[in-house]
Structure formats: structure tokens, C-alpha cells
Amino acid sequence: MSVDKETVRRIARLARLKLEEERVEPMMEELNGILAWVEQLKEVDVEGIPPMTSVVEQRLKMRDDVVTETDHADALMVNAPGGEDHFFVVPKVVE
Amino acid sequence: MSDLTDFTLAEARDAVAGKKISAKELTQGFVTAMEGARALNIFVTETPDIALKMAEASDARIAAGTARPLEGLPLGIKDLYCTKGVRTTAGSKILENYVPQYESTVSQNLWDNGAVMLGKLNLDEFAMGSSNETSAYGPCISPWRAKDSKTALVPGGSSGGSSAAVAARLCLGATATDTGGSIRTPAAVTGTVGIKPTYGRCSRWGIVAFASSLDQAGPIAKTVRDTAILLKAMASIDDKDSTSVDLPVPDYEAGIEGGVKGLRIGIPKEYRVEGTDPEIAAVWEKGAEWLKAQGAEIVEVSLPHTKYALPTYYIVAPAECSSNLARYDGVRFGHRAADPKDLIDLYERSRAEGFGAEVRRRILIGTYVLSAGYYDAYYLRAQKLRTLIKRDFEEAYKKCDMLLTPATPSPAFAIGEKIADPVTMYLYDVFTVTVNLAGLPALVVPAGLNTAGLPLGLQLIGKAFDEATLFRAGRALEIAADLKAKPQNWWSQ
Amino acid sequence: MAIQSEERINGARKSKLIQGSTGAWEVVIGLEVHCQVLSKAKLFSGASTEFGADPNSQVSFVDAAMPGMLPVINKFCVEQAVRTGLGLKAEINLTSVFDRKNYFYADLPAGYQISQFKNPIVGEGEVLVDLPGGEVARVGIERLHLEQDAGKSIHDQSPDSSFVDLNRAGIALMEIVSRPDMRSSEEAAAYLKKLRAIVRYLGTCDGNMEEGSMRADVNVSVRKPGDPLNTRCEIKNMNSMRFIVQAIEYEARRQIDVLESGGRIKQETLLFDTKLGETRPMRSKEEAHDYRYFPDPDLLPLSFEQAWVDEIAASLPELPDAKKDRFTAMGLSTYDALVLVAEKETADYFEVMLAEGVDAKAAANWLNNEYFGRLNKAGLALSEGPVSAHANSEIVKMVGENIISSKGAKDVLDILWAEGGAPRSIVESRGLKQVTDTSAIEKAVDAVIAANPDKVEAAKAKPTLAGWFVGQVMKATGGKANPATVNALVKARLGIAEEG
């Protein structure tokens, strides 16, 4: 399988990565290089093989229903590029 | 002061505990070395003030008789570990100004053991790379040079800062992480020791995620013993990481001199890969002979799906990374593009500006293999391959206790040599990546120098949670190799 | 859907059909209901779930998806999902998997929502929905899964910015997905009401729609009776029964109009504009969906033992259906029983009365005919009403013990409503006790007969006039005489034979 330019644009959009038009073709070639290489997995018969869900054989840990966190609003804003009054701020979204 | 930095971690520990030197003296020695080695671009952030303060606190504890196992020992921390109040970049521009408000479990464990933080070490961006060349803060340069050459070599990756710092004697040991070989490749090409523990042995909490099902923290240090000491301190049972295992941490150092008598060492025939440097093939053979000479039994085993490990990895890891890196969106932290016209523009430009080429490439591959219509063909198939790869090891371990393999297909290469072609770079992890897919532990130990005087490493792959036996066998290799060489200091200013 | 005898057109119930210009249309509705689990902490972090806190004050670093943060699941939330599954008579999956649903949105910090896609914790079940006229509709439950809630964006505070508050981000939701088994807006509302009652009985969700702890995404399509299912539209985030009814009706009509004018229905996500009473496409969902689900590698598969499920099953309370059956077995009409079980508070109130030993039927009549009517009139919820279950029990009991007449009972309730107090002492102090002393009643009857000789003659000719005498006697005794006794005495004195 290989990707065309339209697919590259679509996945870049899905991944929310701006891809300048002149970068589409080179990126397509790079991705196709990688995809051609992983193509060899098709040789393997995986019929009836369960996919790996976890490498550790352990039961999922659970936490008790206890509030352990305090108010981190100030700490959350330390790195916020558009923080205001303890809110994260983004360009206006129309729902 | 140069003597101090030549200490192994175990030697320094004994010297400090025995009050032969103070933690502050020791730390000052490393701070001086660190500041003198900026030409190597090893540290992304130096924290000398924190280091000296921690050392003073250590001296107070030593004086009070309340010293802890790593009291006053200066370490470097891979800049993928979140450190409270200290900038953590993950080698990326997107986190250029990110200051975590929390401390990773593993680094906290080290501080709780008395260790001292010298600074944050360079790495490939988000740990994606095998040479440290994808760092947004510039490549880290290996302290090693080939005989009669001034060509800058890579220290391996992604934990290139960690391996280079240890090899250049800028710290007693360093934390690192390994997703496809990122501890072992750097250790192998810098003549240092590194262990990727069993998945789940060290907590991933507070370590910037690359590929969650593969990422594992571990140490790089000068000797097998130092590595064992550090792993004991780093590992823990952590209720904050659902994938951390509920197994007590053994004292890895205690059994280290136990030898290899009676151990069955498997040689996987599929690791005789075409294109492997003949000197590496030779050191592999020599390694087997050394172990045999010390009483181990050498058996040939087969891991039939080895050749599929790399392509499997390059589906699973990008898929997970595409999702793990979605949080870097310019909303709550990290780089935000200027004057976004709307939310989508903010996302698309912040991410495109903040991520480097390799990260962007992997995000796109990962997005593609998970996208509608391709999931079964790529991701699901890759996860099935993982099952087969894990079964290979289970079969092999019916015949042997551990495996001996090369660590890298060639010694350190020059900066710029492989960066142009992603797949060529990916192939450099051919011997290391299977271990991550199966979640197993593996130790890399320096085994010799090639004719150009560059270090070559060997890898021991163990059974799950059997790090102790790996250390024992690694120590046996270390004794046999008896490597005294270290890089000559050409970098000091 | 098992519906009792009803006229059908190609399998569709005629009474539910909507007339269009090209004939009758059937509306097909399925609901995805999000119920917030009543837990103290979030699904994967130790941050509080309390409603109404300051912005971002209940957000852990995990909820904010800071680098390196990892989820650990809240056991209580898992238990509530199992409980709810059992309440829906559904299959409980001992192993389930958490997946990541990947998409970018300002109030989705990680860029993915942890949800369950292929392997949910609860599989197929059903809900019996009681409809007016005694119909019972069976609505199939396709699945219930656990997932994280998103944060909240505030759009109306600034002309060019949205403000993001993550307090809600990471709160545990149970998404309960129904089969497209509903055929009218009333059925959808009745289903939601029943579901709400079930989770409230179970105590797994408070069902508070105003605070958003219960919200529904409504899937609507229309078809000609007997046709296969048509393309559906999803109306997102509805949190009022009234608006759900309005939205379904509007949307069904819109789709019928589109189809009848030769158009096609585009599968899309809609919002209901409550001011205009219209549905409109949701801007933020206009892009193609490709959620790239895959198992969350930060979590292992969720697994537990059947023994744990059995333990939870053993602790389930009696649910509305069983309660209704028990009440009807006590002699209540189905209608009365349904009214009493519809809300957990009502049922609990009634149960208190039953526990005090009232006659079930009398108590049900009293509540449904008297007390609930007054509450409705006053616009009060049961919990806001001024009269306790104990006080109402006392009134019902005094009627049964012939201490007060039914008129006296109403008087007691009036006094309790206005002034409070204890029913039995009110009866004493206000002299509301019913007169059962025959000699006193005889005196009153004789007095009335003596004063109205002309009426006596008339009544002898026309026995139905005896009622007038009864009324006069009741009036003379201030309503305290036992009406049956008065009636018998009047007839005896007038020489009118008792009927039957």
C-alpha cells in the first residue's frame, strides 16, 4: 500500500500538522519509503494469532474512590500560553 | 579534581560514605567537568545550583548518620524525565519553556535515595532517533573519536546525552529510556553499560511518553555494578502507573559476582544479519567464548520472527506516538503559534512549528496506520506479530537462560551519516528492538574496541524480571573483556 | 418491541405515524445516554467531581494531560458500571478493554478520550418502558461502556476567545446505548425517564439533567412503514426531556420534508437550538470522523471475577419493575403503582408509609388523589412538600380506624399543610373526631326530621330524597358523624328500606 498526495494532506489534517503544499510530495515519498519497507509483514501468516494487548501479565490496578488531589489551578497556569483567570484560553470556537 | 570524575559510582559511594571526600567536593568536581564540556552539547539544561544544594544536604545527612544508598552521588537526568521546577524539553522545541510542576517517579526515587541532580541531558526529540541528531537543541557529540580522526561521532540515541555524559565522565551515572534501543544503542557505541529493564519494572509516571507499550526507563553507567546499583534505586512498584508491576525490587548488586557457571547462553542464529560489521561479529563470538570459559553452556537457538521486528516496531511505535503526542497542541502548555486565526490554525501551526521532521514523520505514519480502513492491515497485524515475536523468546527460553547478541550492527557513525534516510537509521536498531516488543530486559556491556579504537558492545537478553541474572552474566563479560580504555579528553575548554 | 394489540401498517404502529404529503412516516429513535457516575473522584485520577467549583480547581495533572501523566482506574466507577449493567438486565463482560478515541478539541486535553469501543464492560440488556394506556415497550440496550467526560468551553465571555475549564474533564460517564427501538418522541422521553429512574434506584447516577449529569445524544431517522432503516442524524447533548421531545418532533418533520421534496438525508451531527426550536448542524463536527480507536497502551485490559459481579448483584436494590409488581400484588391499580414507582423519592416515601402499617391501597389513593395533587398545584417536588410520610400515614390510618371521616382527613391535611403539627393531636384539639356514638347521631337525625315534616312526606314518596337528610345531619354534626351510620339511621327513621 502506498499513499498519494491527497492521503498525505488528509492525515496531516487529522494529525493537526500544518503541511505546506511544497512539503506534501516529499513527505509522500518519505512515508511511502517507510510503508514499502513495512510491507514485508504481509508475508507472515497471522491467522488465529491473538494481537498483543499487554506485555505484562498483570491485572489492571485500580484506585479507591478517594479525592487525593488539591486545587492545582495556579500550577496548571504556570505553563499555559494563554491562561487567564485560571482558564485556558483559545481562539473562539463555534459549536 | 579529574580523579574524582574517574570514580565509578560504587567507588564514589564508598568514598563519600567513608567521608574520604564530601558530597560537595565530589559534586563540585562534576559541575566543573560539566561546565567544561559544553562543546559536546550533552546537557540541555545545567543545574549546578541545585546540584550543590543537594550535595550540601547530603553532607548534612552523612554527618548526621542518616545517609541513604546514593547519598551525594551526582547524576545526569535524561531530559525526558519531568523534574519539578526544572525545565523539561524532551529534546523538542514544543516544550522549550515547559517547567513541570511534578517530579517523575523514577527521578524522585533517585532523590529519595540521596542522589544529586547535575542537569538535564540531551536526547533525540521525544526519544525518536538512534543518534541524538533529531534533538531540537542540536546533536550531542560523542566524547569518542576514531584513531587519528577529528570527525564528530554520534553517541547513539535516543539517550545520547546520557551515554555521552557517562563516557565523558561528566556524571557517575545517568537515567535513560529505551523504546526500541534508546538505552542500549548509546551504551554500546560509547563503551558504557546500560540496561533496559523488563517492561513494568520502572514506573513510567512523569516520563514524557513516546510509545507507551514499549517505553521503559533504565540507567546508563560506567560499570555493570554501577548500573545494578542505579536500577535498584530507580525501580519501584508505583500505584500511579497501571503498567508498573507489583513485584518487589531485588538487590541487584548483591549477586553480581555470582558468575555464569551452569548458565545456558543462547545464540540466536537470526542475529547473524547481513551487513553486520565483521568486527562486531568477531566480538560476539569472543563474548560467547568468554562465557563458555567461565562455565556457561552455549546453545544455538532460533527466533524466527526476528526480521519482522523492526517493521512491526515502526507500526506500533508511531501509532502510539501519534496519539501520545496529541496533547502537544499549544492549548495548556508548550509552544503556541503566533496570532492563530482559529483553533484549528492554532493546532496545526503550533504543532508544525514545535515538532521536528522525524517526529512529524512518525506522527503521520502513526495517524495513517490507525486510520479507518488501515487499522487491520497495519496496527492489528503488527500486534499479532508482537505475539509471535514474544512466543519466539518463550520457545528459546525453554533451551537457555538468556541470549547473547550484538548490540548494534556497527560502531558509532559520524554525525550526518545516516540522518538523510529514515529507514537506514531505523535499521540501526535491528538487534535491540525485538526486546521492547516482547517486554524483556536486556543489558549492554562494552566488549572491546575495534581497530579504529571505538567501543563495541554486546547485548544480553534475559527472561522477564530476571535482571539479576543479566547483571551476573554482564559482570562476567566485563571481567573477561577487561576494558580499560576511555575517551581522551579533547573537549575541555 | 412487544406492544399489545394495536393497529399496524407494515408492522408499524399506526398511532405513532406522522402524516406527510406522500403518506405516513415512521420515526425511528435510538438514544445514547451519558450518565455521570456518582463517584467522589474522577475515572482515572484522584481529582474531585463536585459540581460548581472554581475554574480548573478540580483538575489533576492527569486530567490536564500534562506530559508523562498516566491514568489509573477508579474501582468504584467500575463497580457502578457493573451495577447499572445488572439493573439493565444486561450481560456483564468479565474482560473489557479501554480504547483511545482520537480527536482534537479544546476541552479534550489529551487529544483522545479514553473510552471503550470494541469490548465494553456491559453488553446487551433491555429496559421495559411503560407508556400511557398501559402499553409496555421493550427497548433493547446494545451496550454500556465507561468513558471520560470532556471539559467545558465557555464561548460567550469574549468576542474572540473561548475559555476552557477542565473540572469536568475525566469524570466517569456510563454511556448507555439503546437499540433504535423507539417510535415517537413520547416513547423516547418515557425511555429516558425509566432509565433515569433505574440509575437513581441503583444509586449509580443522580440523574440530574440540569447539571448535566445525565445527557442524551438522540439518533433520529424516518422511513415509510416497512422500509429498511434510513440515514440518521444525531442530535447532541440534550439535557431536558421537554427539549428532547421538541427536537425529535422538529427533526422528524425536517427529514420528512427533505425526503418528500426529493432530497436525501445527510448523516450529520446536530445541535438543538432551544430558542428557535430548531436543529442545526454542529460546526465543530463538520469534519469527517476518523477517531483512530486503538487499545490504550497505558492501561491493561480490565478484568474481574464473576464472584465480584455476584456480590454486586446480591446488593442491588429492588428496581421499579419489581416494585411495581409488588405494589399491584398489594391491590394497587397498575396506574397507581406506576405513579408511585416512577421516581425513587416517591417510591421511598410510599415505602415509609407501608412500613408504618398503612393499608397499601388506601395510602396509594390518598397520595395520588389528595397529597400529590396539592403538591402539583403548589409546584412543589415531593422532597419540598410540607407533610411527612409519617404524617400522611397517620391520616390514612385514622380514616381506616374510623377516627376521622374522609372529609376530616382533608381538613387535617389542610391544617398540616398550613401550620404543621402532628395529625393525631390536630384531630383532638380541633375536634375533628368522627362521631360514631349512635345515640348522638340519632338525636341529630331526629332533630332534622322534626324540623322538616314536609320533606319527610316527600322522602317517603321518593326515597332518593333521603340523601338530603343525610346532608343536613352531616352539616349539623360538623361533618364528624360517620356517614354510613347517618345514612342507615335516616332510612330507618323514614321507613325507607335499605337497598341490596
Distance CA C125, CA C85 (A): 8
| pLDDT(C136) > 60 | yes
pLDDT of residue C16: 84
Interchain contact, C292 vs B347, CB within 8 Å = no
Distance CA B175, CA B465 (A): 19
In CATH, the architecture of A5-42 is: Orthogonal Bundle (1.10)
Cβ-Cβ contacts under 8 Å for B155 (sequence gap 6 or more): B132, B140, B141, B142, B143, B144, B161, B163, B164, B167, B186, B189, B190, B412
**Chains in contact with C, where contact requires at least 3 CB pairs less than 8 Å apart:** A, B
Cβ neighbour number for residue C369 with a 10 Å cutoff: 10
Q: What is the mean pLDDT of residues C9-38?
A: 91
Query: Which of B86, B240, B384 to probe by mutation at the A interface, max A CB count within 10 Å?
Result: B384
Distance CA C22, CA C25 (A): 9
Cell of B263: 548458565
Is B53 tagged catalytic? no
Cβ-contact A36, A2 below 8 angstroms:
yes
C95 closest CA partner among C386, C279, C330, C300: C300
Identify any residues that bridge with B151 across adjacent strands, giving them in sequence order. none
Residue B269 lies in a domain: no
Tell me the pLDDT band of C3, cut-offs 50, 70 and 90: very low
- Of B289-303, C45-59, C451-465, give the lowest mean pLDDT range: C451-465
pLDDT of residue C285: 63
Widest Cα–Cα separation across chain B:
70
Q: How many domains is chain B partitioned into structurally? A: 1
Distance CA B457, CA B224 (A): 13
Cell of B362: 512518525
Distances (CA, A) of B151 to B123, B143, B144, B148, C162: 20, 11, 10, 9, 53
Domain containing B12 — which CATH number? 3.90.1300.10
Alpha-helix runs per DSSP H in B273-399 = 278-293, 309-324, 343-354, 357-370, 381-396
| pLDDT(C477) > 70 | yes
Give chain B positions within 8 Å (CB) of A81.
330-331, 333-336
Distance CA B313, CA B437 (A): 7
Label residue A12 exposed, middle or buried (CB < 10 Å: 0-12, 13-18, 19+). Answer: buried
Cβ-Cβ contacts under 8 Å for A68 (sequence gap 6 or more): C41, C46
Distances (CA, A) of C404 to C350, C413, C434: 21, 12, 5
- Of B214-218, C258-262, C447-451, give the lowest mean pLDDT range: C447-451
Distance CA B82, CA B111 (A): 13
CA distance C177 to chain B (A): 22
Cβ-Cβ contacts under 8 Å for B426 (sequence gap 6 or more): A37, B130, B310, B314
Interchain contact, B327 vs C65, CB within 8 Å = yes
CB pairs B-C closer than 8 Å = 100
Q: How many helices (H) and strands (E) does chain C have?
A: 16, 19
Distance CA B178, CA B40 (A): 22
Distances (CA, A) of B19 to B12, B14, B225: 10, 8, 21
pLDDT of residue C284: 66
Distance CA C112, CA C148 (A): 10
Alpha-helix runs per DSSP H in B129-264 = 160-167, 184-190, 224-234
CA distance B424 to chain C (A): 28
Distance CA B405, CA B445 (A): 11
The active-site residue, picked from B22, B158, B203, B236, is: B158
| pLDDT(C250) > 50 | yes
User: Any idea where the domains of chain A sit in the sequence?
Assistant: 5-42
* Residue of chain B with shortest Cα separation from A34: B423
pLDDT of residue B285: 98
Distance CA A20, CA B411 (A): 37
Cell of C410: 382533608
Cell of B264: 545456558
Distance CA B213, CA C36 (A): 30
Interchain contact, C66 vs B379, CB within 8 Å = no
Interchain contact, C111 vs B370, CB within 8 Å = no
Label residue C316 exposed, middle or buried (CB < 10 Å: 0-12, 13-18, 19+). Answer: middle
Cβ-contact B96, B53 below 8 angstroms:
no
Is B163 tagged catalytic? no
**Residue B423 forms contact with A (CB below 8 Å):** yes
Residue B105 lies in a domain: yes
Reduce the DSSP state of residue B444 to 3 states and report it: strand
Give chain A positions within 8 Å (CB) of B387.
49-52
B360 closest CA partner among A16, C291, C110, C295: A16
Residue B351 lies in a domain: no
Cell of B54: 543537594
Distance CA C68, CA B207 (A): 5
CB pairs A-B closer than 8 Å = 159
Higher pLDDT, C4 or B386: B386
- Summarised one tens digit per residue, pLDDT across range C72-113 is 999 999 999 999 999 999 999 999 999 999 999 999 999 999
Cell of B57: 544536604
Please say whether the dihedral angle defined by the alpha carbons of residues C63, C69, C74 and C78, taken in this order, is positive or negative: positive
Cβ-contact C54, C124 below 8 angstroms:
no
| pLDDT(C392) > 90 | yes
Cβ-Cβ contacts under 8 Å for C271 (sequence gap 6 or more): A95, C235, C236, C237, C279, C280, C281, C282
Higher pLDDT, A95 or B207: B207
Interchain contact, C111 vs B329, CB within 8 Å = yes
Q: What is the mean pLDDT of residues C199-219?
A: 96
CA distance C75 to chain A (A): 5
Distance CA B380, CA A41 (A): 11
- Amino acid present at B131: S
**In chain C, what are the domains?**
8-311 (no CATH), 318-429 (no CATH), 438-494 (1.10.10)
**Residue C110 forms contact with B (CB below 8 Å):** yes
Cβ-Cβ contacts under 8 Å for B487 (sequence gap 6 or more): B142, B143, B144, B145, B167, B168, B191
Q: What is the pLDDT along chain B (493 residues), one digit of tens a residue?
A: 447 999 999 999 999 999 999 999 999 999 999 999 999 999 999 999 999 999 999 999 999 999 999 999 999 999 999 999 999 999 999 999 999 999 999 999 999 999 999 999 999 999 999 999 999 999 999 999 999 999 999 999 999 999 999 999 999 999 999 999 999 999 999 999 999 999 999 999 999 999 999 999 999 999 999 999 999 999 999 999 999 999 999 999 999 999 999 999 999 999 999 889 999 999 999 999 999 999 999 999 999 999 999 999 999 999 999 999 999 999 999 999 999 999 999 999 999 999 999 999 999 999 999 999 999 999 999 999 999 999 999 999 999 999 999 999 999 999 999 988 888 899 999 999 999 999 999 999 999 999 999 999 999 999 999 999 999 999 999 999 999 999 999 998 6
Higher pLDDT, C483 or B77: B77
Cβ-Cβ contacts under 8 Å for C372 (sequence gap 6 or more): C339, C382
* Residue of chain A with shortest Cα separation from C160: A92
Cell of C171: 469524570
pLDDT of residue C500: 39
pLDDT of residue C448: 87
| pLDDT(C368) > 50 | yes
